[in-house]
Chains A and B, each alone.
Chain A
Amino acid sequence: MLRIHQVTKKYSSHLALNDVSLTVNEKCIFGLLGPNGAGKTSLIRIINQITGPDSGEVFFKGEKIAQKHVEKIGYLPEERGLYKKMSVGDQVLYLAQLKGLSRQEARKRAAVWFEKFEMAGWWKKKIEELSKGMQQKVQFIVTVIHEPELLILDEPFSGFDPINAQLIKNEILELKKNGATVIFSTHNMGSVEELCDNIALINQAQKILDGSVKEIRKTFKSNTYNISFKGQAMGFVNALWAGAEVINKRTEDGIHYYTIKALNNLQPNQLLQAVLPTCELLSFNEVIPSMNDIFIQKVNEGNANIQINNHFTE
């Protein structure tokens, strides 16, 4: 659907993107992750053709991206904005027409969306009369009204209450089902795990990680398990002996909660066989790292590397 090939973007004082390549597959939700100032917004603006790359190319469905593609893209920027003094209806029609819809078509679709979001009666209201959440709904509608094939959402849930956030989430999944591809930039790792099929992590202008969410989480597994049991903790630890190390432990109401890391490629079954005779086992499960943990780990690693590099170059 979208292929970014060795894109580099430089501003006078700093490098915003350094040789970034990535591919977004059709009909998937793609998470574009990274700390503040990593270069996400620069990349999004290049995809939207708001700015151009210094070098590298962007391909939209195999074609080199061009002005005609803007009508196939919907963009919700992180900093939301609408004309304060313009009425909701005029605003929606205007922005939809700028995306290539005819006035009649825009009016028809707007009516459908207004119905869906329970916004009937807002048509003549000015934006400045609406609450922030209401403004966000209008903003979402103008992003999707032209039924874009590629949807770029920068922090789409900020400013929504949980109910409306759920509403938007469902709409995004609905759009995906109808064939849209979504690029999703956020800091909210919970929603990444919930929604995204693939991700790319950008830090310090470089892509440091990409792939499917499931695969990535699998790769970052570290043979760590949570175990809870009743009985003698001493016997349990002895049974583990050299096969695993205890990372964390606590005891509540006579129940022991241990987090252990299996060593020497010890399999869960072997581990269980070793400890079963010593205690009354209550639960056993593998710890799969959250995207949040992976994000923090990778970004810190990256920053440490850069510090080391800087150290050497000095």
Chain B
Amino acid sequence: MSKIGLIIARELKSKLSNKTFIVMTILAPLLITGFVAFMIKMTQSEKTEQNVLVLDESKLFRDKLSGNDYVSLTYSNQKLEEAISQFYGKGFTCLLWISPTIVEGGAGATKLFYKKSPGFGFQIFLKDQMEKIIYESKLEANNINPDIIMNSKQNVRIMLEKVNDKGDTQEQGGFGIFGFLSGALMFVFIIMYGMMVFRSVMEEKTSRIVEVIVSSVKPFELMLGKILGVALLGIIQFAIMGIITFGLTTALSSIFLKDATSQLKVFEQQQELVKKNGTNVDLSKLEKFDDKLELFDLLQKIEKINFVEVFICFVLYFMFGYLFYSSIMAAIGSAVDSEADSQQFITPVMLPLMVGYFIATKTITDPDAASVFWASIIPFTSPIVMMSRISNGVPLWEIVLSLSVLFASFILMTWLASKIYRTGILMYGKKTSWREIGKWLFYK
């Protein structure tokens, strides 16, 4: 066993001393969280100050458009040509021109002239207001009280509650996207580390060191040491990436979502109050969060995810799924002389992973479909598909069954792979076929 230890240590050291690996491990979570934070930031409102001159020829919007902390509006009755020619001399950043025919619609009925390109958020800000004003004016023109329309609109939020065989109900996280993301992550990791094993095996074969090594250790020990070495590497990488990502998201969310989380608390307290006292509560005294409901929904769903369960399952599925696939990859690496020859073997191995990935996308819309169930039992797809289901709540027996099948399959696969491996690593110059590999299984 100590020899396997040596092999694991070498494998680990050779990868850890690789600069690309270190840079990737640290950079990847920085980039991803940075990118997500950037996207969130971008969707929030623009902070550029806008000083807008409004030329409203329709006479519909005068004093009805409102500014905010960053946007100030000035109305004028100037002619458009005149205003444009004087535009640069004055302190306005934009010139909003509204044609008399705005109510009939059509392109070019509203124009925004600018010096520096105005942000998308700012355009939406103006557009939304204008649409609302036109909407209300049309209602008025038809003698409809806008309040009636407003009051007839009601947001609907569906709460999921699962009923178990004892008749207890339980609120569900039901957060498809999160599940899919963990499935996709599993997909990426299995491929990434599988390829690492493949390359490492092929490197030893092509550099011919392998013959020296198998004269000291059994080929099976070498293969196992290599696979375990890369697995250990994966765990180290997980840990580093996990800590960085956790730290970053905590820091970023405390900056960006500080208001939202405190508002959510108030919102939840109010909900409790309404639940307890029924309609006796004076609703008008409560704070209104109509525009925040979607964000609250998201935050509540995240809070409901059982991260411990997800994490444990992820580690278990990664370990077994990785061992399963990496033994196939080790066998392939031993059978080929160059990466170019390997395509015909790697493609069929990638295929079930791809299928798993596509079934995982299905779990967002239809988490209880039969295909989803079977794909989360069959070992070729189960790590990906089961991970994408797990945050939705999966019965324990399914997880146990799926893990046992995966475990048994990895033992079988490692055994088969070792038979191919010990013959493959010593075969040179011959182009290997599937038929050939089949024969190797029966060599003594």
Given contacts A54-B444, A98-B6, A98-B213, contact A81 B218 (CB under 8 A): no
6 CB-based A-B contacts, threshold 8 Å:
A12-B439, A49-B215, A70-B217, A73-B215, A77-B212, A79-B208
A77–B428 alpha-carbon span in the complex (Å)? 14
A81–B425 alpha-carbon span in the complex (Å)? 13
Which residue of B is nearest A45, CB measured?
B426
User: Counting CB contacts under 8 A, is B216 at the interface?
Assistant: yes
Tell me whether B212 and A81 are in contact (CB under 8 A).
yes
Given contacts A73-B215, A94-B6, contact A84 B426 (CB under 8 A): no
Which residue of B is nearest A77, CB measured?
B211
Which residue of B is nearest A75, CB measured?
B215
Which residue of B is nearest A98, CB measured?
B216
A90-115 vs B, Cβ < 8 Å mask (1 yes, 0 no): 10001101110000000000000000
User: Counting CB contacts under 8 A, is A80 at the interface?
Assistant: yes
Tell me whether A95 and B207 are in contact (CB under 8 A).
no
Tell me whether A81 and B209 are in contact (CB under 8 A).
yes
A52–B10 alpha-carbon span in the complex (Å)? 27
User: Counting CB contacts under 8 A, is B3 at the interface?
Assistant: yes
A52–B428 alpha-carbon span in the complex (Å)? 19
What distance in Å separates the Cβ of B418 from its nearest Cβ neighbour in chain A?
A: 14
What distance in Å separates the Cβ of B207 from its nearest Cβ neighbour in chain A?
A: 5
Given contacts A50-B426, A77-B208, contact A94 B10 (CB under 8 A): yes
What distance in Å separates the Cβ of A65 from its nearest Cβ neighbour in chain B?
A: 13
* Cross-interface CB contact of B209 among A71, A73, A82, A99, cutoff 8 Å: A82
Mark A residues whose CB is within 8 Å of B. 11-12, 45, 48-52, 54, 67, 70-71, 73, 75, 77, 79-86, 90, 94-95, 97-99, 139, 142-143
What distance in Å separates the Cβ of A36 from its nearest Cβ neighbour in chain B?
A: 13
User: Counting CB contacts under 8 A, is B214 at the interface?
Assistant: yes
A49–B203 alpha-carbon span in the complex (Å)? 22
User: Counting CB contacts under 8 A, is B262 at the interface?
Assistant: no
* Cross-interface CB contact of A70 among B14, B211, B216, B426, cutoff 8 Å: B216
User: Counting CB contacts under 8 A, is B405 at the interface?
Assistant: no
User: Counting CB contacts under 8 A, is B134 at the interface?
Assistant: no
A143–B215 alpha-carbon span in the complex (Å)? 10
Query: Which residues of B sit under 8 angstroms from A90, Cβ to Cβ?
Result: 13
Query: Which residues of A sit under 8 angstroms from B219, Cβ to Cβ?
Result: 50
A98–B6 alpha-carbon span in the complex (Å)? 7
* Cross-interface CB contact of B215 among A70, A82, A84, cutoff 8 Å: A70
User: Counting CB contacts under 8 A, is B195 at the interface?
Assistant: no
Query: Which residues of A sit under 8 angstroms from B214, Cβ to Cβ?
Result: 48, 50
Interchain residue pairs A-B with the least CB separation, the first 7: A81-B208, A98-B216, A81-B209, A75-B215, A48-B215, A77-B211, A79-B208
Query: Which residues of A sit under 8 angstroms from B203, Cβ to Cβ?
Result: 83
B283-309 vs A, Cβ < 8 Å mask (1 yes, 0 no): 000000000000000000000000000
* Cross-interface CB contact of B207 among A81, A142, A143, cutoff 8 Å: A81
A142–B211 alpha-carbon span in the complex (Å)? 13
B1-45 vs A, Cβ < 8 Å mask (1 yes, 0 no): 001001100100110000000000000000000000000000000
User: Counting CB contacts under 8 A, is B83 at the interface?
Assistant: no
Which residue of A is nearest B440, CB measured?
A12
Q: Which of B3, B207, B214, B215 has the most CB of A within 10 A?
A: B215
